Amino acid sequence: MDVYLPIAEMSVNALLILGMGAGVGFLSGMFGVGGGFLMTPLLIFIGVPPAVAVGTQANQLVAASVSGVLAHWKRRNVDVKLGNVMLVGSTLGTVVGVWLFGILQRLGQIDVVISLSYVLFLGIIGGLMFVESVRAILRRRRASTSRAKLHQHIWLHGLPLKMRFPRSRLYISAIPPFAIGLLGGLLVAIMGIGGGFFLVPAMIYLLGMPALIVAGTSLYQIIFSTAIATLLHAYQNQTVDVFLALLLLAGGVIGAQFGTRAAGALKPEQARALLATVVLAVCLKLAVDLVTEPEELYSLRILGDRFP
């Protein structure tokens, strides 16, 4: 069943979009990563313009994140206080990111910037996550009875403006979570991702948060940053396709519930290794597309009044 997307100016199979939304929603609930790192490239792969994929995907992340947070909230796995500190940074980052997005769009460089950003960030984060998770698996096999201390004190913990976060059992400076949220907001605006693939490892290894609290807190912050990005993209850049967003929302909400239930089926290091593998696979596909000669070297179309 094909439907026409007025903003993307193309027809797509509705069942395919629903299935993509459900699959990404499953990852959102399971890993607490929002899933945007996967959905935006998938939309680009099926022909959706990158600018529209970014603007619309941010909208889908809102519903998937809400669904995931509700499930984690029931298990008391959300640190609202720390999430609010991150939210202050992410709000600022989102506003700046949407402003930069509009400038690049008017210059005609936004498609290239989106693809290059994905290759860069997914390659770095995916590689680091994969190496760390493999090391953790090997350590577990060599010393199954010993436990490594997760929370290591580094120079970040000597920064001022310290706050107590009872739910995460932390007493740290508010600056690192603010900075993490700031970068996450930029990623939401420019790449159409919740930033969970960056937020989750940063919250674990830089802030020292317990793994059980990370997913719910990450999704809590993602709800608001993606909602702000959606509103700004729709108002300033006109890149939010409502019909595409509704299809993604329907699939994402259902998939997130199943993903949350499956979250406890894997050990933490195994889950991180699986997530890292998916991230690297998407990164490789985007990199190949960047250097592969397209079937059509150029195309012509009438822009009309959309871009005066």
d(CA 79, CA 218): 9
Centroid of chain to Cα 27: 10
- pLDDT tens-digit map of 214-242: 877 888 888 888 788 888 888 877 788 87
Domain assignment of residue 1, yes or no:
no
Residue 2 lies inside a defined structural domain of this protein: no
Enter the pTM of the model.
0.66
Within-domain flag for 84: yes
Residue 45 covered by a domain = yes
Q: What is the pLDDT of residues 249-262, one digit of tens each?
A: 777 777 777 776 76
Give yes or no for residue 79 having a pLDDT over 80: yes
Q: What is the pLDDT of residue 300?
A: 52
pLDDT single digits (tens) 1-25: 788 887 877 888 888 888 888 877 7
Residue with the larger pLDDT of the pair 266 and 77: 77
- What pLDDT score was predicted for residue 150? 46
DSSP alpha helix (H) spans, the chain: 14-31, 36-45, 50-74, 80-107, 110-142, 175-191, 196-205, 211-232, 242-262, 268-291
* Overall number of domains in the chain: 1
**Structural domain of residue 82, as residue ranges?**
14-291
In a domain, 4, yes or no: no
In a domain, 258, yes or no: yes
